[in-house]
Amino acid sequence: MKEVMPSNWTQTQGEHADDEIDLLQIASVLWGGKWIVLAFALLFGGAAWLYVDHYVTPLFTARAVVSLENREESVVDLQSVTTGVSNSSASIATEIEVLRSRSLAQQLIDDMGLSDDPRFNPNMTREGPGLSDDAARDIMVDRVLSRVSVSNVRSSYAFQLQAVTPDPQLSADLVNSLADLYTEDQIRWKAEATQRATSWLSERVEQLQIELEAAESAFKAFSANTTLVSAEALEAYNLRIKETRARILELEAQKNRLETQLARAESAADPSDPPSGEVGPDQSSEALDDVRAQIAQIETRIAAFSRSLSDQEAQYEVQSSDLVRFQQLERELEAARAIYTYFLTRLKETSVQQGIQQPDSRVLSYAPVPRNPSSPNKRRTLALGIILGLATGAGLVLLREMVTKNFRTVEELERLSGRPVFGQIPLIPGKTREDTLKYLKTNATSAQTEAIRNLRTSVLMSNIDHPPQVIMCTSALPGEGKSTLSIALGQNMASLGKKVLLIEGDARRQIFGAFGLKGDVGGLSDVLVDGKPVDEVIVAVPDLGLDLLAAGKLSTNSSDAFSSDRFRDMMRALRETYDFILIDSPPVLLVSDARLLAKHADATLLVVQWNSTSHQQVREALRQFDVAGQRIDGFALNRIDTRKMKKYGYGKDYGGYGYYRSGYYS
């Protein structure tokens, strides 16, 4: 009896969840679906070509280049009324907006007569009442701006003007006219600014001339009616005033000294006062009178100097005031003359500039009439369509591969089940089941026959110490080739000279009759129900070289029969008689017979049909065996279609059944 171990389906699946993407496998899958990918590429490419050739209006792009000019021709050294465009990024951005402005677009409409073009004027294609002039004008401007674009050429002071329309001539005319209007607009703007400046300067010069004449008249009148002295004479006059003041102060000091002496002398002459020692008692009154006379004389002189000082100060004040007024009028006259002269000069310069205005830009290159449409780009569109088709086809092929939950490779089956795959059996040719057996018998060197030998070897070597004697073949569902494989495996074992018994365990379907294998003397039902000796119901099949124990007709439930003691005893007896016993059991997912029969088998082989048996079916089969305490020892990937496996990109995965069979199999 074999050792029972639980299935590790979930564990194995989790262990490989993070496996790296196999790029070679993806490439193989894509190669297998190459016709699908190619079909989508042709479909999308054809659709793209049809679209651009019949449904898309060709558009023609014309380009002109305009550059900013920071160099001006200096005909005369005159200061311009308007400043040129600077080279700053803000100025460049401003000029781009000027080129995109609605005002310039309106000038373009008038210059080219686009109001008479139905492609721009909505009233020419509108049914019913037309739009107002302003509304139609706005729409025309919008249509012009939608067809024209402006961009700054990288790292330069040049602008690229671009127009895209269905008419190549119109595209060229739009950008060329716009470039000319832009430069003309700059000249016109400068001319208007110069004209405005000239008008203003003319009015200002006339006003300044009147002011200058008034200043000159005031200056002349004041000079004629006033006797003026120079600033130096006035300064000398001021010096004499200071000297007079100093003289008065000196006389007053002298007077004060004499008065002090007189007072002391008079005090000394008083008998009640003590003698001072300065005016002796022998001084006479004549001395005192002399002092008084000196004081009177000094006072007279002080009075005379004071009167003279007053006259001098009054005269100085008058002369000083006249001089200040004179200097003020003189300055006003000079200022008026300077301002008048400056504005008169600017007026003359501005008048001269009216005829020599230069634009701040120039047209570097006019747009030629485009010969080929710029849109749609047929080659690029076709390439994009083909690429999109390739991507779509590849995506569908990969998606089909991802959603396909059927087994196609040994690696996939072993990885998701945790069990070995003992054999890979190619699809055996034959219209009937009997034809398949004849093919294996008559084609001993075919790939199918060699696959059966490999399966036999793998099963027998699955346990070197105790090679399995009783081998049960089952499947998840009917129609997966387990019965054919059981018969073929038994035939192959018999070819080793071993005594082999084939038991038809699927008593419900009894499919062996379709292979021409019939038990005319009874079957398994006679042994298990009626107690008939097993050797009486076993028949020899000379064509296969083995013995057959057919199912017979069970009158009771087969599950009860397989779990009976009679079946157990029968299997023990058969082990003593035969070298190998092969049991063809019913499908696992339909009835419980397979789990009951597995108790008596040394090895259980689950047949999985290539590209048919799903992951879920194998998972459920493993689970049912685990619940029953039994184990599936390995798998046989059956009915491999070698042509289709190349389509799916697995041609090399099957070794001799794929690319490398030449020289080994017939």
Side-chain-facing half-sphere of 199: CA atoms under 13 Å: 5
List Cβ neighbours of 424 (8 Å cut-off, separation of 6 or more). Answer: 410, 451, 454, 636, 637, 640, 654, 657
pLDDT at 119 > cutoff 80: yes
Across 581-599, average pLDDT? 93
pLDDT at 620 > cutoff 60: yes
Residue 229's pLDDT band (cuts 50, 70, 90): low
pLDDT at 83 > cutoff 80: no
CB 439 within 8 A of CB 425: no
**Rg of the Cα atoms in the chain:** 64
Lowest mean pLDDT among 104-108, 317-321, 601-605, 650-654: 650-654
When comparing pLDDT for 161 and 195, which is higher? Answer: 161
Residue 624's pLDDT band (cuts 50, 70, 90): very high
Cis status of the peptide bond prior to 376, with omega within 30 of 0: yes
Across 420-425, average pLDDT? 93
pLDDT at 114 > cutoff 70: yes
Residue 279's pLDDT band (cuts 50, 70, 90): very low
Distance, CA of 331 to CA of 337 (rounded, Å): 10
When comparing pLDDT for 383 and 187, which is higher? Answer: 383
Residue with token string 């102060």: 249
pLDDT at 651 > cutoff 60: no
Distances in Å between the Cα of 666 and the Cα atoms of 447, 448, 644 are 7, 10, 20
pLDDT at 643 > cutoff 90: no
Q: How many residues are there in the chain?
A: 666
Average pLDDT, the chain: 83
CB 608 within 8 A of CB 636: yes
pLDDT at 3 > cutoff 60: no
Across 220-242, average pLDDT? 73
Burial of 506 (0-12, 13-18, 19+ CB in 10 A): buried
- pLDDT value, residue 177: 94
Lowest mean pLDDT among 137-151, 310-324, 398-412, 437-451: 310-324
- pLDDT value, residue 17: 43
When comparing pLDDT for 599 and 405, which is higher? Answer: 599
Residue 660's pLDDT band (cuts 50, 70, 90): low
pLDDT at 277 > cutoff 70: no
Token pair recorded at residue 492: 């192959």
Residue 315's pLDDT band (cuts 50, 70, 90): confident
- pLDDT value, residue 74: 44
> What is the b/e burial string over 296-315, where b = at least 16 CB atoms within 10 angstroms of the residue's CB?
eebeeebeebeeebeebeee
Distance, CA of 440 to CA of 447 (rounded, Å): 10
Q: Give the model confidence (pLDDT) of 320-355 as tens digits.
A: 777 777 778 888 889 988 998 998 888 888 777 666
- pLDDT value, residue 470: 97
* Dihedral pair phi/psi, residue 607, rounded to 5°: -85, 125
Longest CA span, the chain = 207
Residue 70's pLDDT band (cuts 50, 70, 90): low
What sign results for the dihedral spanned by CA atoms 9, 13, 16, 20? Answer: positive
Lowest mean pLDDT among 35-39, 210-214, 433-437: 433-437
CB atoms within 10 A of CB 89: 9
Residue 5's pLDDT band (cuts 50, 70, 90): very low
Q: Give the model confidence (pLDDT) of 140-155 as tens digits.
A: 999 999 999 999 988 8
Residue with token string 């034959």: 430
Across 59-80, average pLDDT? 70
- pLDDT value, residue 574: 95
Q: Give the model confidence (pLDDT) of 446-500 as tens digits.
A: 888 999 999 999 999 988 889 999 999 999 999 898 999 999 999 999 999 999 9
Q: How many helices (H) and strands (E) does the chain have?
A: 21, 12
- E strands, 251-358, where? none
- pLDDT value, residue 71: 53
pLDDT at 594 > cutoff 60: yes
Residue 85's pLDDT band (cuts 50, 70, 90): low
- pLDDT value, residue 185: 86
pLDDT at 18 > cutoff 50: no
- pLDDT value, residue 518: 65
- pLDDT value, residue 635: 96
Across 120-124, average pLDDT? 87
CB atoms within 10 A of CB 371: 7
Lowest mean pLDDT among 205-219, 274-288, 360-374, 523-537: 274-288
Q: Give the model confidence (pLDDT) of 546-574 as tens digits.
A: 999 988 776 567 778 888 889 999 999 99
Q: Is the pTM of this model over 0.85?
A: no
